[in-house]
Homo-oligomer: A and B are copies of this chain.
Amino acid sequence: MSKDKLTIGTLLFPDYDLLDVNGTLRMLGALENVNILMISQSGDKIKSNCQVGNYIDYNFDNCPELDVLFVPGGIGTRKEVNNPILLEFIKSQIPKVKYVLVVCTGGGLVAKTGLLDGKRATSNKIAWEWVTSQGSNVCWIKKARWVVDGKFYTSAGVSAGMDMALGFISDVYGREVADNIALRTEYDWHDNPDWDPFSDKILEKK
The chain A residues found within 8 Å of chain B, CB to CB, are: 10, 17-19, 21-23, 25-26, 28-30, 35-36, 38, 45, 48-55, 124-126, 156-160, 162, 183-188, 190, 197-198, 201-202
- CB-defined contacts of A124 to chain B, threshold 8 Å: 186
Q: A21 to B50, alpha carbons, bound, how many Å?
A: 12
Q: In the complex the two chains form, is B30's CB within 8 Å of A50's CB? A: yes
Bound-state CA distance A35–B50 (Å) is: 9
Q: Which of B54, B159, B183 contacts A55 (CB 8 A)?
A: B54
Is there an interface contact between A54 and B51, defined as CB atoms closer than 8 Å? no
Q: List 13 A-B contacts (CB under 8 A).
A: A19-B185, A22-B23, A25-B52, A29-B48, A29-B51, A36-B50, A53-B55, A126-B183, A158-B185, A158-B186, A159-B186, A183-B198, A183-B202
Residues of B within 8 A of A52 (CB): 10, 22, 25, 29, 36, 38, 54-55
Q: Find the B residue at minimum CB distance from A20.
A: B26
Whole-angstrom distance from the CB of A20 to the nearest CB of chain B? 9
Task: List chain B residues, Cβ under 8 A from A201.
Answer: 183
The residue among A25, A160, A183, A186 with the most chain B CB atoms within 10 A of its own CB is: A186
Give complex CA distance A35, B52 in Å. Answer: 10
Report the bound CA distance from A115 to B184 in whole Å: 27
Contacts of A188 in B (CB 8 A): 159, 188, 190, 197
Query: Min CB distance, A53 to chain B, in Å?
Result: 5
A21, B201: Cα distance in complex, Å: 28
CA distance A48 to B21 in the complex (A): 14
Q: Are B49 and A45 neighbours in the complex by a CB distance under 8 Å?
A: no
- A52 CA to B134 CA in the complex, in Å? 30
Most buried by B among A45, A159, A201: A159
Query: Quick one: closest B residue to A35, CB to CB?
Result: B51
